[in-house]
Amino acid sequence: MKFEKSKDIYEEGLKYIPGGVNSPVRAFKSVDAGPVFINKGYGNRIEDEDGNTYIDYIGSWGPAILGHSNPQLIEGIEDIIKDGLSFGLPTKVEVDMAKLIVESYPAIDMVRMVNSGTEATMSAIRVARGFTGKNKIIKFEGCYHGHSDSLLVKSGSGTITYGVPTSLGVPEEIVKNTIVCRYNDLEDIRKTFEEQGEDIAAIIVEPVAGNMGLVAAEKEFLNGLRKITKEYSSLLIFDEVITGFRIAYGGASEVYGIDPDIVCFGKIIGGGFPVGAYGGKREIMEIVSPLGGVYQAGTLSGNPLAMHMGYKNIKYLQDNKDIYEKMEKMAIKLEKGIAENIEKTGVKATIVRFKNMLTLFFGEGPFKNYDDVQRCDTNMYAKYFREMLNRGIMLPPAQFECMFLSTAFNDEDLDYTIKANLESLEKIK
Ligand code: PMP
């Protein structure tokens, strides 16, 4: 495969954009490859500037759940554009979108649209603090909730990949209110609440962590969080930026049967447009301005084009819930095939799956928390990534991320991937 055009664009990009990319993981640094610049996408395929095509297991990190350029989604988009792109005034489709989300998540009576997952979690934390009158929050090691100051502590995704446990530029005074606990460790939570429970506004958690590789919460752990937050009048925030409308229509809230106090959504609800949202019970959400004293706003929040596309995306998922079972079946096939290849080749690796998300960890499980995943061999992942890339498969360019399936996959794609996986494991072992 040739990557000449991507290389040229990257070199040009390096002059004008820090690291040549607008989000660190895209630089492909941890897999020791140059970034591939994407030109277009269709179904589950993406094509780069050199004309190489890939089966895409990133899917824009979740939003492309119906495949790229899905005709049903993009049909009529020109008519929407012709009617104007942004008004900074309310539009009906915002109300339609809010109603659809509220009807889909029992924990949500009211919802606010924002422009990204980062904004959703940042605003949810502000609401939790405003509502409870308390300052401290708990997050978990390895969970990523976007890059707002108070949440950028021992987070996952690119911050693990690039070894930045806490970013420069985040004042001590801000992070001193962020307590970091161990994922899947209720004892740690109990101790923390015994010591500081009266000051804790909220626990924020990825109910299925996708940012330290795939690490699902144990049911008792999430039940324990629900119980203890109620006991101490703190709020439980589910960050469903990845899991919402993905692992089931009702996200992790549905899968685990838990009603959090606030749910955060991101990318997937925009169907590819920059959208996020946070919602919760009426008495909590009524604290948001203009009803209450928690300020949160956005010129492009509820942007009509993004809302139209997001609405279509979610509505499709609502009307076709059988897709979740189909995607899970495909994920199971992939999991089995890869597990067999691991066995055959004797490579020290473990395939982990939850619903339609997967991670191939180059290490031995079980993987329950950040310490467990840290023991993985990231050099092996890098080699594996490059082998797969050269076979036309786009995997997440870092060990501590997930693979995402979409409705655009079919058996042939999976068979090809399993074959490429075997060849790649053979080559790197
Ligand atoms: N929360 C989670 C669970 C995420 O995975 C992400 C992004 N990967 C975010 C929040 C932040 O979302 P965004 O990148 O849209 O700001």
| CA terminus-to-terminus distance, the chain | 22
Q: What is the pLDDT of residue 165?
A: 57
Distance 371 CA to ligand 1 centre (A): 21
- Rounded CA separation 206/162 (Å): 20
Nearest Cα residue to atom 13 of ligand 1 = 117
- Are 376 and 385 in contact by the 8 Å Cβ rule? The answer is no
Catalytic residue chosen out of the listed positions 54, 144, 232, 324: 144
Q: Which atom of ligand 1 is nearest to the CA of 116?
A: 15
Distance 121 CA to ligand 1 centre (A): 9
Q: Which atom of ligand 1 is nearest to the CA of 206?
A: 3
- The finding on whether 356 has its CB within 6 A of some atom of ligand 1 is no
Residue whose token pair is 């019970």 = 281
* Residue-range domains of the chain with CATH: 4-71+321-428 (3.90.1150.10), 76-319 (3.40.640.10)
- The finding on whether 125 has its CB within 6 A of some atom of ligand 1 is no
pLDDT digits (tens, 9 = 90+) for 88-109: 999 999 999 999 999 999 999 9
- The finding on whether 270 has its CB within 6 A of some atom of ligand 1 is no
Q: Which residues contact 140 (CB under 8 A, 6 or more apart)?
A: 180, 181, 182, 183, 205, 206, 209, 369, 370
- Rounded CA separation 340/422 (Å): 9
Q: What is the pLDDT of residue 173?
A: 87
Q: What is the pLDDT of residue 164?
A: 53
Catalytic residue chosen out of the listed positions 29, 154, 267, 312: 267
Q: What is the pLDDT of residue 171?
A: 87
Nearest Cα residue to atom 10 of ligand 1 = 145
Distance 195 CA to ligand 1 centre (A): 30
Distance 142 CA to ligand 1 centre (A): 13
Active site residue 16: no
Active site residue 232: no
Q: What is the pLDDT of residue 261?
A: 98
Return the number of other C-beta atoms located less than 10 Å from residue 8's C-beta: 13
Distance 238 CA to ligand 1 centre (A): 12
- Rounded CA separation 340/343 (Å): 5
Instruction: Read off the pTM.
Output: 0.97
- The finding on whether 61 has its CB within 6 A of some atom of ligand 1 is yes
Q: Is the peptide bond before 90 cis (omega within 30 degrees of 0)?
A: no
- Are 262 and 128 in contact by the 8 Å Cβ rule? The answer is yes
Burial profile 217-241: b = 16 or more Cβ within 10 angstroms, e = fewer: beeebbebbbebbeebebbbbbbbb
Return the number of other C-beta atoms located less than 10 Å from residue 201's C-beta: 25
- The finding on whether 121 has its CB within 6 A of some atom of ligand 1 is yes
- The finding on whether 206 has its CB within 6 A of some atom of ligand 1 is yes
Nearest Cα residue to atom 7 of ligand 1 = 146
pLDDT digits (tens, 9 = 90+) for 241-263: 999 999 999 999 999 999 999 99
Distance 270 CA to ligand 1 centre (A): 13
Q: 204 - beta bridge partners?
A: 237
- The finding on whether 406 has its CB within 6 A of some atom of ligand 1 is no
Q: Which atom of ligand 1 is nearest to the CA of 240?
A: 3
Hey, CA dihedral for 15, 21, 22, 25, is it positive or negative?
negative
- Rounded CA separation 201/124 (Å): 11
Active site residue 267: yes
pLDDT tens track of the chain, all 429 residues?
999 999 999 999 999 999 999 999 999 999 999 999 999 999 999 999 999 999 999 999 999 999 999 999 999 999 999 999 999 999 999 999 999 999 999 999 999 999 999 999 999 999 999 999 999 999 999 999 999 999 998 876 665 555 455 788 988 888 889 999 999 999 999 999 999 999 999 999 999 999 999 999 999 999 999 999 999 999 999 999 999 999 999 999 999 999 999 999 999 999 999 999 999 999 999 999 999 999 999 999 999 999 999 999 999 999 999 999 999 999 999 999 999 999 999 999 999 999 999 999 999 999 999 999 999 999 999 999 999 999 999 999 999 999 999 999 999 999 999 999 999 999 999
Distance 419 CA to ligand 1 centre (A): 32
- Rounded CA separation 185/163 (Å): 23
Catalytic residue chosen out of the listed positions 239, 261, 372, 413: 239
- The finding on whether 267 has its CB within 6 A of some atom of ligand 1 is yes
- The finding on whether 244 has its CB within 6 A of some atom of ligand 1 is no
Interface predicted TM-score (ipTM): 0.99
- Rounded CA separation 255/278 (Å): 19
